[in-house]
Amino acid sequence: MPRRLRLAVAPLVLLIAALSACAEPTRLPPPEEPAARAPLFASDEEALAAATEAYEEYLAVSNAVLAKPPRDLSVLKSVATTDFVENERPIAERLNANGWTIEGRSLLVGVELQQWFQEPNGSVAVTIYACLDVTGTRIVDEDGVDVTPADRSPAATLEVELTGATEEELLVSRSELWANSITCS
């Protein structure tokens, strides 16, 4: 570029640079905070009450399904997650294979809240300790002979997790024998 043209353009470049330095910077609006969801339960007592009700519904359906063949586990999907139902399938298959029937029903006689929490998306998980009284149940074979294990405990504490998007949608998602039998003592 000829020297004369450079000298003519230089003040123009400086003027543009100076003006752009004085310009207001483009401001981006702050990111919007996601709307805070109200807690699903107002208290631990509400969480426990909802979990207890949902677990009692599960027990009623489970008692009916496991009582007599054919054991249609798909009915459990109204009160339990699909994964949980699939984990229960071996129990039903064993009952079917041995021709066993469960007479009576398990009763929920004690419940204690372990914890509950709500995810940012609004879904909730409630974990309870549930004491089941199984003294009113027995396992009988095809001939009506009682094959209930003689050393079976009359009660069992389970750690039960229920999950859902609303209080009305709590489903059993996990149930494990809890060795520290605090609820059944």
Q: Considering only CA atoms, which of 150, 148, 134, 60 is closest in space to residue 100?
A: 148
What CATH number has the domain spanning 41-177? 3.10.450.240
H/E stretch holding 112 reads strand 107-118
Q: Read off the pLDDT of residues 96-139 as tens digits, 9 standing for 90 and up.
A: 999 999 999 999 999 999 999 999 888 999 999 999 999 999 99
Q: Is the pLDDT of residue 174 over 60?
A: yes
pTM of the model: 0.77
Query: Mean pLDDT throughout 139-164?
Result: 95
Give one word for 154, left, alpha or beta, with left for phi > 0 and alpha for psi -120 to 50.
alpha
**Domain parsing of the chain, residue ranges:** 41-177
